[in-house]
Chains A and B, each alone.
Chain A
């Protein structure tokens, strides 16, 4: 009994210390960002790695999610003769929730895990240590460009996911099921608000998610035990922790932003 209590206490302290380290890590990351003004080329390379290379999965997933929303929405609305609201349903669910959340989850799986593995392996193979011995600080040189690139890429990917999803919904609803195209867009425009929906949902949520996803990914990589087992463990933890953090934060943000409805 006493032992398990002590175990629990140790676990809690351990977690707390980890959180503290993570925050210090974030601070160091943010401080290193200014370096990128001098070396924008580093950013381009990382934007390619986390942004451009994530595009295929984002495009395909966005299209399919939008098409499913169109089908499901139609099946439910057709009973009330309200299929003209289909555009609203598709757009609002994508803009407020599915776009930011699914993009962040896909990003964690596609790019976050890769970031963790890359940084972890760089540590395991002493690349970071040798960089330090060459008097080059890995924070501005290696970590900051990845962080900033990720933080830029996630909102852009979210915008693309959402837009493609709405097009997918349009394809199913208008092209396939024969909903009136005019009312599809008109109803959508009447109900979707630029600041309250697109601003809060796509822009703010995705920015927060992007920050968290990249923070976790880089921290896990940097903290990983420098062995193949440690790196694989860290990669798993990146995906799990990011998913939990994104879903939890999504609830919080939704309650804050859309609470009045």
Chain B
């Protein structure tokens, strides 16, 4: 009887521990980060990816459709090459869709946002997104605002 209780308590303890690990795996971390996901790969070239990191989400209309799996540099064009893995559920993305690097909030993390195109052919494994828009780099943005302001000051007198 006493031995039974002991075994029961130990069994509960082990179950609790395993449940904790289960929670850490399912609820806390992203199980799909386990490499062998079934998504199809799509690449896109960007002039500048800013602070984009591997594992950043890929969204379409705010819905997560995949994630960034690799970041590299094209040695010829000196462009950044971003490889994304797209959930096979979303297999009807037009080939002329565009990708841009966006920031969630002012200081939030960066992610890839897709805009669907209008073609009838769809992206497949190994496909490429041609239309891309680089990350907004704050320093460049500020620089552009200043030049605009400078040209704006001198401009009005010219136009009647």
Contacts and interface: CB of A to CB of B under 8 A. Distances in A.
- A–B touch (CB < 8 A): the answer is yes
A101 B134 CA distance: 42
B28 to A, nearest CB: 5
Interface string B13-46: 1101111110111011111011000000000000
A162 B24 contact: yes
B29 A198 contact: yes
B124 interface: no
A48 B9 contact: yes
B107 interface: yes
A100 interface: no
Interface string B85-109: 0000000000000000000011111
Contacts of A82: 105, 107-108
Contacts of B28: 91, 95, 163, 166, 188-189, 192, 198
Contacts of A163: 19-21, 23-24, 28
A202 B24 contact: yes
B68 to A, nearest CB: 11
Contacts of B107: 80-82
B17 A155 contact: yes
B7 interface: yes
A95 B9 CA distance: 26
A55 interface: yes
Interface residues of A, number: 36
Most buried by B among A47, A95, A202: A47
B10 interface: yes
Interface in B107-144: 107-109
A22 B140 CA distance: 62
A51 interface: yes
B57 interface: yes
Interface in B53-92: 55, 57
Contact of B30 (A44, A48, A193): A193
A48 B3 CA distance: 11
A195 interface: yes
B11 to A, nearest CB: 9
Contacts of A195: 33-34
A193 B29 contact: yes
A104 B18 CA distance: 18
A84 B75 CA distance: 38
Given A47-B13, A55-B13, A82-B107, A162 B31 contact: no
A186 to B, nearest CB: 9
Interface string A141-185: 000000000000101110110111010000000000000000001
Given A52-B13, A163-B19, 16 more contacts: A41-B3, A48-B9, A51-B10, A55-B13, A82-B107, A155-B17, A156-B17, A156-B18, A159-B17, A163-B20, A163-B23, A164-B20, A166-B23, A194-B30, A194-B34, A198-B25
29 contacts: A44-B7, A45-B6, A48-B10, A52-B10, A55-B13, A95-B24, A155-B17, A156-B13, A156-B14, A156-B18, A157-B17, A159-B17, A160-B16, A160-B17, A163-B23, A163-B28, A164-B20, A188-B28, A190-B55, A190-B57, A192-B29, A193-B29, A193-B30, A193-B33, A194-B25, A194-B29, A194-B31, A194-B33, A198-B25
Interface of A: 41, 44-45, 47-48, 51-52, 55, 80-82, 84, 91, 95, 153, 155-157, 159-160, 162-164, 166, 185, 188-190, 192-195, 197-198, 202-203
